[in-house]
Amino acid sequence: MFFRRGVQSLDIVNLQNHKPIAFKTRSNGKLLLTGEYFVLEGAVALSIPLKWGQSMKVTESSGSDLRWKTLDQNGEKWFECTLNLIDFSIEKTTDDKKAVFIQQLIKSASQLNSDFLSKWKKYKVECKLEFNPEWGLGSSSTLIANLATWAELSPFELFFDTQNGSGFDVASAIADSPILYSKGEEELTFEEVDLNKELLEKSYVFYQGKKANSRAEVQKWKNSARKIKAKDIKEISSISEQLAECNSIKSYIELIDQHEKLVQSFLEIDSITQKYADFNGGMKSLGAWGGDFGLAVHEDPEYTKAFLEKHNFDAVFSLKDIVL
C-alpha cells in the first residue's frame, strides 16, 4: 500500500530564509479507547485521531547532512540532532535516545526506498508538535507517518520495519475519523466510524501525570506468559464494535466496566476504577496501564469535571473537543 497523504507544497519559496521548501506534511495524534494490549493479539480496537498532531517541513541546500529539529507545543526546541548522510552516523544531538530513533527511521526509509535521500544535498527538517510530548498522544507515530510520506512509503511499511507494536496509532495518524482497527498475521484492517456526539460530550480524558513507555510495554506484554484465549480476544473485539455503535450512556458505561475488568484480570494490577472507586460512573485506562490518559464517563459532565478537579488533574479534556 502506498500513501502520499498530506503533501501540501512542493518547491515553494520560504520568504523568511529564501530557501525552497521541498516538502510539507502533517499527521494526527491518537487516543486508544479500547483494545489496549489485546490489539497485539489480533483483537479489534477502537481508536480516535485527534485534532492535535505533528507537522513536518523539509528544506534543501548543498551539503551531505541532515539537520533535525523538533519544537514542542509552545514552539520551544524539544529535540535537535545532526546525521551524516554518508553513513547515517549521529554527529551531534541534544538527546541520544531520540537521535538513535531518528537514525533508525532514516536508515529504514533509505533501505525501503533507495531513491530517498539519494541526492547529494543537505536537508533541514523541522517538526512541530501540537500537544505536550509527555502526554503519549503519538509523537512517534505521527513522526513515522510524516517521514514515510516524505520517503514515498506506506507508513505501515516503515512502522513494521522498525517497531513492535500493532500499528493502530499509525492508522489513526492517517485517518479522518475514529477507526476500528485490527491486525492479524497476514493483514491489517481499519474502518472509519462515527461515534455518538452526545456520548463524546459526556466523556472526559485526563492525563495521569506519568508517560508510559509504549515500546517497553509492548515488549513486556509479548514476553509475558499470559494465555490469551480466542474467547477473550472475541470479547474485547465485541466491546470495541459495540462502543462504536453505542447510543446509550448506560450501555456505554457498562461496556467500559466490562472492558476494564477483563484487561485487569490479565494484567493482575489495580485498575483505574479501583484507584478512584469513589467515582460514580464509568472509568478506564487509555493505552498502557499506569500512565498516560484515563477516561471518565458520567451522565452529568459537570459531575465528572468536578471529580477530576477534586483529584487535582490539570490536563482534562472533553472527547468532543479533541476528536478530529
Distance between CA atoms of residues 186 and 290, nearest Å:
31
Give the mean model confidence (pLDDT) for residues 33-38: 94
Q: Are residues 130 and 155 in the same domain?
A: yes
Residues 6+ apart with CB under 8 A from 79: 68, 69, 70, 93, 94, 95, 98
77-110 burial by CB neighbour count: b if 16+ within 10 A, else e?
Answer: ebbbbbbebeeeeeeebeeeebbebbbebbebbb
Longest dimension (CA), the chain: 62
Around Cβ 314, how many Cβ atoms within 10 Å? 9
Sign of CA dihedral 221, 322, 137, 47: positive
Q: What would the grid cell of residue 236 be? A: 474485547
Q: Are residues 167 and 202 in the same domain?
A: no
pLDDT for the residue 9:
34
Q: At what angle do helices 155-162 and 139-150 cross, to 10 degrees?
A: 120
Q: Are residues 255 and 127 in the same domain?
A: no
Query: Is the pLDDT confidence value at 17 over 50?
Result: no
Q: At what angle do helices 96-112 and 155-162 cross, to 10 degrees?
A: 120
Q: Does residue 3 lie in a domain region?
A: no
Answer for the pair 223, 276: CB distance below 8 angstroms, yes or no. Answer: no
Please report which confidence band the pLDDT of residue 15 belongs to, taking 50, 70 and 90 as the band edges.
very low
Please report which confidence band the pLDDT of residue 186 belongs to, taking 50, 70 and 90 as the band edges.
confident
Q: Are residues 208 and 254 in the same domain?
A: yes
Query: Is the pLDDT confidence value at 2 over 50?
Result: no
Q: Can you give the CATH number for the domain in which 214 is found?
A: 3.30.70.890
Query: Is the pLDDT confidence value at 199 over 50?
Result: yes
Distance between CA atoms of residues 61 and 93, nearest Å:
21
Q: Are residues 183 and 162 in the same domain?
A: yes
Answer for the pair 195, 48: CB distance below 8 angstroms, yes or no. Answer: yes
Q: Does residue 7 lie in a domain region?
A: no
pLDDT in tens, 77-105: 999 999 999 999 999 999 999 999 999 99
Query: Is the pLDDT confidence value at 224 over 70?
Result: no
Q: What is the DSSP letter of 323?
A: B
Q: Are residues 26 and 113 in the same domain?
A: yes
Give the mean model confidence (pLDDT) for residues 229-256: 96
Q: In which domain, by residue range, is 288 found?
A: 197-322
Q: Strand pairing of 65-71 and 122-129?
A: parallel
Q: Are residues 202 and 186 in the same domain?
A: no
Please identify, among 192, 208, 232, the residue that sits at the C-terminal boundary of a domain: 192
171-188 burial by CB neighbour count: b if 16+ within 10 A, else e?
Answer: bbbbbeebbbbbbeeeeb
Q: What would the grid cell of residue 230 be? A: 480466542
Write down the mean pLDDT value for the chain: 89
Number of domains in the chain: 2
Distance between CA atoms of residues 301 and 152, nearest Å:
44
Distance between CA atoms of residues 136 and 196, nearest Å:
25
Least confident of 113-122, 125-134, 142-151: 113-122
pLDDT for the residue 89:
96
Q: Are residues 201 and 186 in the same domain?
A: no
Question: Shortest CA distance to 218 belongs to which of 25, 38, 61?
Answer: 38
Please report which confidence band the pLDDT of residue 316 belongs to, taking 50, 70 and 90 as the band edges.
very high
Around Cβ 230, how many Cβ atoms within 10 Å? 9
